[in-house]
Chain A
Amino acid sequence: MKHIRTVGLLVILVFTLAFPFLFPNAAVTTMAVFTLLFAGAATSWNLFSGYTGYVSLGYVTFYGIGAYTLALCCKYWNIEGGYLPFVLLPLAGLVAAIFAIPLGWIVLRVQRHTFVVVTIAMMFTFQLLAYNLKSITNGSSGILLPFPPWGPDFFNVPFYYVALALLFFALSVSWWVRSSKYGLGLLAIRDDEERVLGLGVKTGIYKLAAFVISAFFGGMIGGMIAYFLGSIFPSGAFDPVFDITITLMCFLGGIGTLVGPILGALLLGPLQQYITLQVGSIGTGLDLLLFGALLLIILLFLPEGIVPSLQHLWVIGKESKSMEEKQNRG
């Protein structure tokens, strides 16, 4: 059993590493880059919201902060396109994480239901700041990022590998958190916060730390997408739809699980792009209608997400097998 799992994982690893060379079509690799970035965003969002149970719809705030950090660094330090902006990504993440500390402190003071709304307010605050602080952010005209010098055929490949690296990084941090005592505390906070507090766990620090880690990845991914797209605007950098999309991806895959967000991203990412591209051209609004209907069906029939449902089926399958064996013996 264990062998099958390791072999399966190895196959997936080799496949993802070789992907750009197996499918050199630029459209496919572009979709792959976006899917990987969404998966990384979903995994790090899950690290906070999935494990602690505090649904944050403000994740995109840090995405935007990271994006603007990278753009401003490139602008003021006169950085050329190429591999150097990739090196600046951790800086973008760090700046976002630094912003996350006071923001997280304010925002985590409220109860669970209010938290959702407050994170939305936080996001809109930063969007408005981006629009209005024209001297720094250039307002609605946005900022251009340097254009990488490698040719159109090869264009997506470095982005793909950096996105893959980011995903691995996020996944390994998520895995490390989940299997540590810290992660146990987070999951306990999700289940029953008052009891955990009564047991002596410092919930404030736990939540804030998860928030900041999540923001760090958000900043890096934001910087990455900004560089990939080549420019950022306030409405694109602080986009509420992005938040809802990653929430849905985590939800679809199984919130609070390790690989759920990735699964959700793999399923939902291409689907969303497909619907927007194919159907959006026919009549405005039809793509929204279809997407909404699809979401409703998924949400109502798979309320826990795919991974937990599969886990249930697995457990049921095992139990029925052992029942059969007992019956055969007896």
Chain B
Amino acid sequence: MTLIIEAIVLGILTGSVYALMSSGLTLVFGVMEIVNIAQGIMVILGAYLSYVVGMYLHIDIFLGLLLTMPVMFVIGVGIEWAFVRRIKKNRVMLSILVMYAVALMIEGSLDLIFSASFVQLQAPYIDAAFPILGFHLPYVYIFACILSIVLLALLYLLVYCTKFGHGLRASMQNRTAAVLVGIDVQKVQTIAFGIGVALAAAGGLAYGATNSFNAASSYDLIARLLVIIVMGGMGSLRGAFVASLVMLIISDVTAVIWSPVWSSLIFNVLLMVLLIFRPQGLFGQLEGRKQ
């Protein structure tokens, strides 16, 4: 029984980390209608950046976020400006291919710079754990969860309480109308993309602290993230959060009750089952005619 409780608690904690990573993904989709396949490798890039900050600049990794997040924001804005903006026709497919090409380039560069050996972020409190309810809970999971919740709360404030957030939501609802009302949709899209990538940086920190990774970890990661956002409803932040928690809890509990090998499978099977009954995801909307 304690194993199940431990699984649920761990599921909640890791679920919030995945929520952070997938919220960037769903945000970008909602505003720009592109599926950012490169999000997985962005997370890994963020993790490597935190690694560099921790190893060579000797700054505490959580404080190092103040460095990595703006850097990744700039990288995101740069990618949007250079590549995504050029896609005029056939956005659905071209954006996937372009982002895949970008992901390949980043993966190649990471492989070149860091080689393919696995690394994990180091900090003095990474391995320490405190006992609760009969099992030990590593500190780093708690910190990662707190980080995720704080950032998600900030994101919520940004999207629902600021003028920029209003522009963002307006562009998500109806792009033409937003342009007509006077919102600079292009700027909103660029900034949203940058935010998505910056969130990936934070997610990278949380992921890198709790798992060992190398450049090839991005494939498994992006597969999970994509399943999460579809389950939550593409474009819905609330959905990404709920779906991450649900998925991670169920998969961790499955690992305990049944076997670890089936826990990844459950992810995908659940999605397929959900799609039979609710094709738009938990919080998504059935698409009407697009403008």
Interface residues of A (CB under 8 A from B): 55, 57, 106-107, 109-114, 116-118, 120-122, 124-125, 128-129, 131-132, 194, 240, 244, 247-248, 251, 255, 283-293, 295-296, 299-300, 303-304
9 more contacts with CB within 8 A, not counting A113-B29, A284-B111, are A111-B280, A113-B35, A114-B281, A122-B268, A129-B265, A284-B116, A286-B108, A293-B101, A295-B101
Contact present for A288 and B104 (CB under 8 Å): yes
A65 to chain B minimum Cβ distance, whole angstroms, is 16
Chain B contacts of A129 at CB under 8 A? 265
Complex CA distance for A271 and B158, rounded to whole angstroms:
46
Q: Report if A299-B271 is in contact (Cβ < 8 Å); known contacts: A113-B33, A121-B223, A251-B93.
A: no
Q: Mark B36-70 against chain A: 1 for CB-CB distance below 8 A, else 0.
A: 00000000000000000000000000000000000
Q: Which residue in B94, B230, B284 is a CB contact (below 8 Å) of A121?
A: B230
Chain A contacts of B106 at CB under 8 A? 292
Contact present for B112 and A285 (CB under 8 Å): yes
B-side interface mostly: helix
Task: Give the total of B residues in contact with A, Cβ under 8 Å.
Answer: 55
B102 within 8 A of A: yes
Chain A contacts of B230 at CB under 8 A? 110, 114, 117-118, 121
Chain B contacts of A304 at CB under 8 A? 89-90
Q: Which residue in A106, A113, A287, A290 is a CB contact (below 8 Å) of B92?
A: A113
Contact present for A284 and B112 (CB under 8 Å): yes
Interface residues of B (CB under 8 A from A): 29, 33, 35, 83, 86-90, 92-94, 96-98, 100-112, 115-116, 215, 219, 223, 226-227, 229-230, 234, 261-262, 264-265, 268-269, 271-272, 275-276, 279-281, 284, 286-287, 289
Contact present for A112 and B108 (CB under 8 Å): no
Complex CA distance for A111 and B284, rounded to whole angstroms:
11
Chain B contacts of A117 at CB under 8 A? 35, 226-227, 229-230, 234
Contact present for B234 and A116 (CB under 8 Å): no
Chain B contacts of A247 at CB under 8 A? 93, 96-97
B40 to chain A minimum Cβ distance, whole angstroms, is 11
Q: Report if A118-B275 is in contact (Cβ < 8 Å); known contacts: A285-B110, A288-B105.
A: yes
